[in-house]
Structure 1
């Protein structure tokens, strides 16, 4: 598989504060990366940095051979980054359908395909963002990232605070998007076993640096290591 994303010696943060220090990893076309770590280790900062929402102090980010770190956030979307931030950031004053068509770019993903994947959104396509439940807002945030037709999907804690039935629906959708459709993705999640099960690779951050990198299967099958790194296996 061809390399899609390459991050080398990345240092970034907010203002003068450096949160990430010397982060390096790569991701191939069609692969999913589980980005793990305890709270406050820099996972969200890394996702935000890839999307162009932090201050980068050093290092390079390359997407399909292009220097992503030189681009503004809106240019990164055009270059192939689809971003679902922790806050979801849907347009709450627009309808579900308007949220999707407002950012749509040409490609295989369109509102109809999003509605097929998330029937709840099809039932609520004329509802405003303010009229959606938390789970429906998350589905819309994922759908909105898909209709940009990205090469790389960034998901920051997509299952956080959702009811178990919604978590199950979203996991199935994410597995379809990545495993079946072959869209590359980086997923931050506090429930590692759920994400490791649908990922190819795993990177663990601690204090803003990479402390472990391996296949997702290997980490999933090593509960003692997972417990030592994250404190969540048992």
Structure 2
């Protein structure tokens, strides 16, 4: 197994005095992807937000490449290697597509050996953003905004990409385009990632590891391929009750 890039030990966190996560411990090897699953309200987004520095941490530690992430303010975590795509996307609505990318771009990491992400590489991966590079963020469709949010995280040249429900509310054709891009970013480019999703089978197919949260605690960890091959266990862990309303081939978590 590759050396762990991310280590979470005994993490408890939430919003204000409310504790959502309790005693969460995880390790993610360098270059691997973790599918983070669970029903709504179980703490998935809170864990992503905590890694990004957007919650109140009550206990535990987070290290990224040996750096004590939990000691850093939110604005310093991008420099430490975090690329965050929040559920709200949070692109700059009044800036153009190109300005969104160039405003936050950081150079590639010295000695990483990886080809750095630039706005030009983002346009190569998402051609429709290249066609709309002069459009304001607020003029884009939901799918285009999500592509821009992913691209903006990539030009930070992070060590760890955090994706919070990147497929939510998108048309099936856009879902497939984003899944293809995420697969390329993680499998072909080797960027470590944690992905929160309500389409478990789709995300398990492009992940090495899986963790399932319930009531703020981890109730299952293992190989993504093994859980994907056990639909009865997946159903029991996630409480799958119906098919996705957009694409009946994609299981949907109630």
- Please state which band the TM-score falls in when normalised by the shorter chain: over 0.9
User: Which residue of the partner structure matches residue 75 of structure 2?
Assistant: 74
In 1, the alpha carbon distance for the partners of 2:75 and 2:154 equals 15
Give the TM-score taking structure 2 as reference length.
0.91
Task: Structure 2: state its 5+ residue gaps.
Answer: 109-115, 243-254
Partner of 2:252: none
Structure 1's 123 and 28: CA in aligned 2 closer, same or farther, altered over 3 A?
A: same
**What is the aligned partner in structure 2 of residue 106 from structure 1?**
107
Runs ≥4 residues deviating over 4 A = none
Tell me the distance in 2 between the aligned counterparts of 1:109 and 1:102.
14
Once the two structures are superposed, residues 74-119 of structure 1 have per-residue CA deviations (whole angstroms, 9 ceiling, x without a partner) of: 1110000000000000000000000000000002000000000000
Question: Residue 34 of structure 2 corresponds to which residue in structure 1?
Answer: 33
Query: How much has 1:233 moved relative to structure 2?
Result: 7.6
Q: Show the counterpart of 1:207.
A: 215
**Post-superposition shift, 1:232?**
2.0
Q: Is the 8 A contact 1:100 1:147 kept in 2?
A: yes
TM-score (norm 1): 0.99
Partner of 2:22: 21
Number of corresponding residues: 234
> Residue 189 of structure 1 corresponds to which residue in structure 2?
197
What is residue 158 of structure 1 aligned with on the other side?
A: 166
Q: In the TM superposition, what is the alpha-carbon distance from 1:162 to its structure 2 partner?
A: 0.1
Q: Distance in 1 between matches of 2:88 and 2:99?
A: 19
Alpha-carbon deviations, 1:46-99, whole Å to 9, x = none? 000000000000000000111000001111100000000000000000000000
Residue 101 of structure 1 aligns to a residue whose secondary structure is helix
Matched, 1:51 2:52: yes
